[in-house]
């Protein structure tokens, strides 16, 4: 086994790296903190950079180089990835590894060039691209064949990819720019409008991860601290999962609407297969309790959440990186 092969998924929220022969060797927030005096000086990356979000003074800026699954800042993305590669390379590699990179489905040739630029800037010259829903399928352990398509809804931090996948590749897919951060924004607006309290994006994300739920009558509660809009003073409110249900449903209803539209575009045979197997959810947002039941109620169709939905695309990258034939068949050939 060639251990000098890795799979990388640079998500809008998290970057994951899988090393062939090992497992996931890095999973950290896709963030990089720079000094504003000299933007080439990195202060922190990943987990440490996330601790600075909303807490920096004028001398530090925290950048999220990937937005909606696409690179929004090539230089920052390269600085971040280089730092991650150096972190895992210390004892593991003698030279830069070969890379399988996960890219959003339906990526354009120009967007692909941005990913190429970043890899080359990090000293990676041997790389292939695979569309993310294919990797998610593999990572979920779904047995891909020409005859059995799967329907993936991957709800990440900054994007949701919805695609029907078979061994032939993506049958039909879309990358939307709504994801977990959209839910954070809905939580922030709800607290501002209902309680007159302003909270930061990190607090909103914590609220989402701790109490957001689609389970009926879920009274799980937490105290949220922020700033009163009227007085400017620190202010706390106690909220329950039930309070947040209506606002967060607007996000899921939108996702289901797009899912319905994509399902209606499928060829008849594929549609019949998908109706039987149901939809497979992945991405960090699919950890919200009650999603399967809510989807079934709204769409009259089965929802499956299996394994660890958040790391499926990274694990799938690791699987394909170790299977040359599969990689040859499913890689993007736009280079």
Nearer to ligand ATP, 8 or 321 (CB): 8
Where would I find the H helices in 212-288?
Answer: 241-265, 268-277
Q: Are strands 303-304 and 42-45 parallel, antiparallel or unpaired?
A: unpaired
- The least CB distance from residue 29 to ligand ATP, in Å, is 8
- The least CB distance from residue 156 to ligand ATP, in Å, is 2
**205 near ligand ATP, rule: CB under 6 A:** yes
Where would I find the H helices in 201-240?
Answer: 201-211
Q: Are strands 234-240 and 221-228 parallel, antiparallel or unpaired?
A: antiparallel
Structure tokens at 230: 């009227």
Give 321's contacts (C-beta < 8 A, 6+ positions apart).
5, 6, 7, 18, 20, 98, 100, 327
Number of residues assigned to the chain: 335
Applying CB under 6 A, among 6, 7, 8, 13 the residue interacting with ligand ATP is 13
Q: Are strands 150-155 and 127-131 parallel, antiparallel or unpaired?
A: unpaired
**139 near Mg ion, rule: CB under 5 A:** no
Q: DSSP readout, 125-169?
A: -SEEEEEHHHHHHHHTT---BTTB-EEEEEE-SS-EEEEEEETTE
Applying CB under 5 A, among 7, 10, 11, 160 the residue interacting with Mg ion is 11
- Spatial contact of 287 and 119, defined as CB atoms under 8 Å apart: no
Q: Of 113-121, 137-145, 152-160, 189-197, which part binds Mg ion (CB under 5 A)?
A: 152-160
**133 near Mg ion, rule: CB under 5 A:** no
Rounded to 10 deg, the angle between the 241-265 and 180-195 helix axes is 140
Q: Of 83-91, 113-121, 143-151, 208-216, which part binds ligand ATP (CB under 6 A)?
A: 208-216
- The least CB distance from residue 11 to ligand ATP, in Å, is 2
303 binds, among Mg ion, ligand ATP, none (CB under 5 to 8 A by kind): none
The H-or-E segment that residue 10 falls in is strand 5-10
Q: Of 17-25, 71-79, 174-182, 324-332, which part binds ligand ATP (CB under 6 A)?
A: 174-182
**46 near ligand ATP, rule: CB under 6 A:** no
> x/- site string to Mg ion, residues 154 to 173, per CB under 5 A?
--x-----------------
65 binds, among Mg ion, ligand ATP, none (CB under 5 to 8 A by kind): none
Give the Cα separation of 34 and 50 in Å (integer).
Answer: 12
> x/- site string to ligand ATP, residues 214 to 243, per CB under 6 A?
------------------------------
Structure tokens at 1: 């086994």
**316 near Mg ion, rule: CB under 5 A:** no
Nearer to ligand ATP, 149 or 157 (CB): 157
Give the Cα separation of 332 and 315 in Å (integer).
Answer: 18
Nearer to ligand ATP, 173 or 179 (CB): 179
Structure tokens at 213: 């739920």
> x/- site string to Mg ion, residues 188 to 217, per CB under 5 A?
------------------------------
Tell me which residues touch ligand ATP (CB under 6 A).
11-14, 69, 156-159, 179-181, 205, 208-209, 212, 283-285, 287-288, 310
Chain residues in the site for Mg ion (CB under 5 A): 11, 156
């Amino acid at each position: 086994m060639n251990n000098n092969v890795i799979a990388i998924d640079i998500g809008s929220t998290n970057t994951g790296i899988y090393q062939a022969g090992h497992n996931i060797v890095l999973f950290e927030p896709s963030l990089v903190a720079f000094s504003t005096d000299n933007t080439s000086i990195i202060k922190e990356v990943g987990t440490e950079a996330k601790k600075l979000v909303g807490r920096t003074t004028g001398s530090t800026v925290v950048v999220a180089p990937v937005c909606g699954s696409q690179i929004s800042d090539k230089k920052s993305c390269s600085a971040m990835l280089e730092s991650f590669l150096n972190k895992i390379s210390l004892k593991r590699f003698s030279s830069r590894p070969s890379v399988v990179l996960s890219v959003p489905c339906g990526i354009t040739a120009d967007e692909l060039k941005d990913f190429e630029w970043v890899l080359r800037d990090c000293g990676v010259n041997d790389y292939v691209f695979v569309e993310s829903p294919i990797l998610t399928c593999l990572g979920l352990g779904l047995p891909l064949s020409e005859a059995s398509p799967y329907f993936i809804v991957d709800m990440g931090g900054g994007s949701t990819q919805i695609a029907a996948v078979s061994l032939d590749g993506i049958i039909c897919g879309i990358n939307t720019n709504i994801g977990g951060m959209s839910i954070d924004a809905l939580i922030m607006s709800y607290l501002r409008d209902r309680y007159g309290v302003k909270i930061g994006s990190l607090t909103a994300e914590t609220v989402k991860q701790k109490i957001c739920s689609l389970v009926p009558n879920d009274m799980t509660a937490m105290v949220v601290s922020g700033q009163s809009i009227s007085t400017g003073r620190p202010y706390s409110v106690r909220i329950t999962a039930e309070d947040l249900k209506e606002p967060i449903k607007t996000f899921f209803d939108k996702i289901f609407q797009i899912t319905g539209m994509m399902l209606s575009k499928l060829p008849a045979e594929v549609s019949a297969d998908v109706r039987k197997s149901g939809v497979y959810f992945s991405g960090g947002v699919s950890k919200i309790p009650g999603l399967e039941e809510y989807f079934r109620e709204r769409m009259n169709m089965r929802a499956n959440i299996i394994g660890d939905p958040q790391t499926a695309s990274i694990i799938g990258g690791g699987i394909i990186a170790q299977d040359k034939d599969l990689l040859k068949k499913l890689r993007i050939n736009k280079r």
